[in-house]
């Protein structure tokens, strides 16, 4: 029986073209009582087919897979508006990969070298609508973004936009931000759209990283305390 800390099972699709790697990941994921791997795929196309068949809560994808890459799968998920969170679990720590993944619409990016507990927490966070970025990658991405001219603001962020961005950095969902600030979900969405445009960002995580690199907010995107 699940404890009160885990009110429901999080159904996971696992996609990786290495069968031994999949088996290892599945083994430690299912040691957690709230996680269940309901489907496994060996390539991107198979992942898409299984996503439609099993409707998992979270898809854990590798980047490099036959037929379709993990990034292509994420784009397919978003284009088809599937209600599934996406966590990229990969060995690639190159910043261009990280940026491409975040821009594709993934909710998180964790390295396979991470502690299994971090991967499990990452899946839980993605399920709850939070953004997740591997701790080892955070500083590298900040340095990269700080060197890019595109990080320059189109126009300053308003006080309300900074409030929303700070809460986003702490892992608050749109609904939680709305409750915290006493505004509607739609208003939060509108503010985030403006923030993305001003920061030239295409995801919540990318917006937070750019805001941190510019010194607009001080936050640890890996903080899961909220």
CATH number 1.10.150.20 given to 148-213: no
Q: Where in the chain is CATH 1.10.10.10? A: 148-213
Buried-exposed string 60-82: b where 16+ CB fall within 10 A, e elsewhere: bbbbebeebbbbbbbbbbeeeeb
Residues pairing with 226 in the sheet: none
Q: Where in the chain is CATH 3.40.50.2300? A: 10-138
Reported pTM: 0.66
In CATH, what class is 10-138? alpha beta
**Residue 8, both tokens:** 């429901």
- Please provide residue 13's backbone torsions phi and psi, each rounded to the nearest 5 degrees: -100, 130
**pLDDT tens per residue across all 226 residues of the chain:** 444 455 689 999 999 999 999 999 999 999 999 999 999 999 999 999 999 999 999 999 999 888 998 999 999 999 999 999 999 999 888 777 787 888 888 999 999 989 999 999 999 999 998 888 887 776 666 666 555 544 455 567 888 998 999 898 888 889 999 999 999 999 999 999 999 888 888 888 888 888 877 777 765 544 443 3
């Amino acid at each position: 029986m699940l404890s009160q800390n885990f009110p429901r099972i999080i159904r996971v699709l696992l996609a990786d073209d290495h069968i031994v790697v999949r088996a290892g990941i599945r083994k430690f994921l299912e040691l957690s009582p709230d996680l269940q791997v309901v489907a496994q795929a060996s390539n991107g196309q198979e992942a898409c087919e299984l996503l439609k068949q099993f409707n998992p809560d979270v898809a854990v994808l590798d980047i490099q897979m036959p037929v379709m890459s993990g990034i292509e799968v994420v784009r397919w998920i978003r284009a088809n508006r599937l209600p599934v969170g996406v966590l990229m679990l990969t060995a690639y720590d190159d910043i261009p990969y990280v940026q491409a993944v975040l821009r594709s619409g993934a909710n998180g990016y964790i390295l396979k070298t991470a502690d299994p507990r971090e991967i499990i927490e990452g899946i839980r966070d993605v399920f709850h609508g939070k953004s997740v970025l591997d701790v080892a990658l955070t500083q590298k991405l900040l340095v990269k973004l700080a060197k890019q001219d595109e990080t320059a603001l189109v126009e300053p962020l308003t006080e309300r936009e900074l409030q929303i961005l700070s809460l986003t950095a702490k892992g608050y969902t749109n609904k939680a931000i709305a409750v915290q600030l006493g505004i509607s979900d739609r208003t939060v969405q509108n503010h985030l759209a403006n923030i993305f445009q001003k920061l030239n960002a295409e995801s919540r995580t990318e917006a937070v990283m750019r805001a941190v690199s510019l010194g607009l907010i001080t936050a640890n995107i890996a903080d899961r305390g909220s």
